[in-house]
Structure 1
Amino acid sequence: MRLFKTVDEVRSFINSVRREGKTVGLVPTMGYLHQGHLSLVHEAKRSCDVVIVSIFVNPTQFDPNEDYQTYPRDLQRDVALVADAGVEAIFAPEAEEMYSQGFSSFVDVTGVSECLCGASRPGHFRGVATVVTKLFNIVLPDAAFFGQKDFQQVMVIKRMVADLNMSVQIIDVPIVREEDGLALSSRNVYLSQEERKAALVLHRSLHLAKEQVNEGERSAQQIKERIIKEIQAEPLANIDYVEILSVPDLKPIEIIKGNVLLALAVRFGKTRLIDNSILEA
């Protein structure tokens, strides 16, 4: 397993791989890896000859009040996990390598980026779209792998790839959860013991919504109100949003028909967690 820190190094590696006629899979991450990330790696290994994991805490997707400086980082640990998974290479650049002095070019994906996390984190998806575009241009992968926990991010990237005629297949991989239902996230490390217990209200709420749909409820507003009541009953929970939207365009709906997205963002103390589920009617 090889660790690259510069664009030139990883491009040289990619060129050698391409000369051998091998396919390349990219797993973009911000590091502090967990089993959710490794599920992406395993899917990439099944689909591609060579897998590259990028580890980069991208400053352009954090606003000044967010946790960029304190976001968990442990490259040595990440390298060991990725090596054990059989990955061929890691690309772990410094911020200066990705954003040189005078950097002034950004990618904006409108529409699907403007609701949910896009509304509560202005500029977030511009940073995501820009860094993912850069990674695609550097690695030139045949396929890239993203987790469904960040459902809106996947929709933004798929829209960007389609609109800009990028020759990469976007593969989304199901959410990986703890045994008690909490979705795996690098930010879970921030939670106190009490907050960790309180955060289980997210999974309970998703399950409750599915039960309501299975029992015949089709009003998006009625389900939202029930979910909000469930979350507000948890004293440590502070709701950012609870939304039910169409897929893939992420527009508000009144009646649940076909597959729709239930998306949650809730703060527990200083930690903001997201989760989602597809409701089927």
Structure 2
Amino acid sequence: MEIIVCIKQVPDTTEVKIDPATNTLIRQGVPSIVNPYDKYALEAALQLKAKHGGQVTVISMGPPQAQEALKECIAMGADRAVLLSDRSFGGADTLATSYTLAAGIRKLGRFDLILCGKQAIDGDTAQVGPELAEQLEIPLISHVAKIDLEGEQVTVEREQEESYAVINAALPLVVTVTKAAYKPRLPNMKGIMRAKRTEIPIYTMADLDVDEQKLGLKGSPTQVRHIFAPKQRVQGQMIHADSPQQAAAKLVEKLMESKII
């Protein structure tokens, strides 16, 4: 069983800053973490490996510093890791990102199952997993809470608004994972030491069979025109009264003063 998990290194959401000139995230000097949903996908992969055997490979597209995120995944139990990193990959939207990831996965060779987090916490688009399946021309099941394998067949529980849908599918397959049944494990000392010794191979554009016009900004039809932080809300006011009736009367009076009603 060859399982590939797509990983993204994202800014810590408490530290996100936007460059007003370029409308892009400022990553320099900002703490980075492994996208939490991708950790759920990795945990799912590790549990499947423990039950059925095989190999878990993590892959990411990003700057050289993303090697640290991949090493964290190695420490958790992944067998190997690959980073796709090249200046030509920079500025990619979800379409260009999925195109590049698909090329990297083809470079890796055989695979049975590809797992992604349901979305990244920086962009929140939930588009890369589905677009990756399209690029590789294989089926997709999204928002999956639990995965079981039986030979070449996969049975998943897919989250819906108030229920779960049980779906059967054949391999190969792309699955995007939620956090429902998978609590990421903590790295142990053996895993941490192995990660420190691991050299992460880096694939550049020259290593992949790609069309340069479909990479990075050139291959990104989605362009951000403007981005801004919402204005901070004015602090509300507490209404004090001896009874609910008096509180309601004071509230109506203030709403009328403010010409809300």
Task: Report TM bin, short chain.
Answer: 0.3 to 0.5
TM-score after normalising by structure 2:
0.38
Higher relative contact order (CA 8 A, sep 6+): 2
- Which is richer in helix? 1
- The normalised TM-score by structure 1 is 0.35
Structure whose CA Rg is larger: 2
